[in-house]
Structure formats: C-alpha cells, structure tokens
Amino acid sequence: MNLQTNTIESIMLIGIEETTKNENEINGKGKIPKLVQTFYSEMLSKISNRYENHILSVYTDYESDENGYYTYFIGAKVKDLSCIPEGMVGRTIPSSRYAIITSAIGKIPDIVINEWTQIWLDDDLKKKRSYSTDFELYDQRCSNVDYAQVDIYIAIKD
C-alpha cells in the first residue's frame, strides 16, 4: 500500500459513541449502522457550532488491535466544546502523524469496508499503527452516497 503521511493538528468534535469490536460488526451484531443512522436523523441538527460540514467516524480507545474492543464515535467538527447537546459527548482527536488512505469512488459503506479490509491485511501498515485514534473523513465528496470517496486517517508511530 503506497501511503501518504501527514501530521494533523487536533480536531474537536461533538457526537455520539458506542463500544464495539470488528468481529461483531462483521457478523451482523454491530452497533455502528444504528449509531450512524441515529446521528444523522436525530443528533446532527442539534450541534450548533459546527463548521466545514465535515463528519468524522472515529475509532479510539483500542483495547489492543483490530481484533479487540474499541470506541466508535461519529461526530461533527466544531469550533469548541463549550456547548455539548444533551445525549452527546465531546471528543478531541489528538494531534498525531497519520497515514492517509483515499478510498475508491463508490457506494458507502462498501468503499469504506473495502479499505478497512485492505488496512487490516497490510502487514507493513500494521507494524506502523499506534492504535490510538483513527478516523474517516466524510466531506463534500460524500454528498452522493452511491458515488462517494472517503479519506481514512490511520495514526502511526513516529
């Protein structure tokens, strides 16, 4: 996998989260699809200080690696965390070095699942991963879910 890397400054988000693991998500016992649906249908409109209209899906608090439990968080970029609506949480993605992987153009969630599958199979990337905080960036390229493109940011060791 040919990797572009960059140091990203911290990003503040407001959203909702759940603890899950990939085995459950793959076997149909996952929490992510329902959480995403709830976020877009009930929560997003309540976030008043968002900017850039970017949505991030964040993977953090890793128990171990891609086989353990982690926290999945979906949220909107905000200017500050001073006004967190009821039922939501604020999170800050820490400044870190990231490998940035751009998906193929296609249908969400298929393009995202395909990229994560490739990430999990890449032994070189696996050795570089810090398993701290990874995220997917959903921006204007995702306005049509059938013809979208997503950037996946994988935290790597310095």
Mean pLDDT computed over 133-152 = 97
- Per-residue confidence (pLDDT) for residue 28, from 0 to 100: 86
Rounded to 5, what percent of the chain is helix, strand, coil? 25, 40, 35
In the chain, domain spans: 4-155
Which of 62, 58, 56 minimizes the C-alpha distance to 129?
Answer: 62
What's the mean per-residue pLDDT of the chain? 96
Query: How far is it, in rounded angstroms, from Cα 53 to Cα 48?
Result: 12
SS3 108: coil
Mean pLDDT computed over 102-122 = 96
CB atoms within 10 A of CB 118: 14
**pLDDT band for position 61 (50/70/90)?**
very high
Which of 98, 63, 58 minimizes the C-alpha distance to 76?
Answer: 58
Place of tokens 């699942």: 113
CB atoms within 10 A of CB 5: 12
11 touches 79 (CB < 8 A): no
- Per-residue confidence (pLDDT) for residue 113, from 0 to 100: 94
Token pair in block for residue 52: 């850039």
Architecture of domain 4-155: Alpha-Beta Barrel (3.20)
- Taking only the tens place, the pLDDT of each residue in 8-53 is 999 999 999 999 999 999 998 999 999 999 999 999 999 999 999 9
